[in-house]
Structure 1
Amino acid sequence: MIPLLTKQPSAVSPTSQLRTVANEMEAAFLAEMLKYSGLGDTSDAFGAGAGGEHFASFLREEQARIMVEGGGIGLSESIFRALSERPHD
């Protein structure tokens, strides 16, 4: 699973933190969509069984991160705006 929150130094702006979280959430969504769509199914590449599926999940997560870095599907922008509109404590 892709971690949603990472420990950020206090010097990082709240806007930057929200953007990071939004990108991580889109990447998690895309990784799940890749898994269920069967696109890029790598079960043959890593072998059968739990080990093969585990390593295939690492590949899907990295593919999803790369998709988000390339612009993604726009989900992270929607998430970012929704989080930005919430009152902060």
Structure 2
Amino acid sequence: MDPVSLSPSIPDVSARRDLALREAAKELEAGFLAEMLKAAGLGKTSESFGGGQGEEQFSSFLRQEQARAMVEGGGIGLAESLYHALKEREND
């Protein structure tokens, strides 16, 4: 989903760019959280009664969506820091 193309109701180019930066920051935080969830063992198949190869292959999708839900719920504040860093860089 490209937030800029999904927001034709926002006439100001600057506001659309800010929205795109914020969404990019959220996706970066979600990616980071998904990797942390993976390192913590979330989605790891159990030794007995596991889902086999299919479960292993699709567990990354589950982790990514759980990470996105965490970000939408406030996350760890990384997205906000990234947004401000990207905004500063854009203004320079």
TM-score (norm 1): 0.78
CA distance in 2, matches of 1:24, 1:59: 15
Q: How many residues align?
A: 81
The Cα shift of 1:75 comes to 0.4
Q: Which residue of 2 aligns with 1:43?
A: 45
Q: Which residue of 1 aligns with 2:87?
A: 84
Structure 2 spans left out of the alignment, 5+ residues: 11-15
Contact 1:46 / 1:55 at 8 angstroms: preserved in 2? no
CA-atom RMSD in angstroms: 2.0
Contact 2:43 / 2:63 at 8 angstroms: preserved in 1? no
After superposition, residues 5-84 of structure 1 pair within 5 angstroms as 6-7=1-2, 8-9=4-5, 11=8, 13-38=16-41, 40-44=42-46, 47-49=51-53, 51-84=54-87
Which stretches of structure 1, 4 residues or more, deviate above 2 A after TM superposition? none
* Identity fraction in percent: 52
1:14/1:57 CA distance change after superposition, 3 Å: same
CA distance in 1, matches of 2:82, 2:50: 34
* Segment of structure 1 superposing worse, 14-23 or 52-61: 52-61
TM-score (norm 2): 0.76
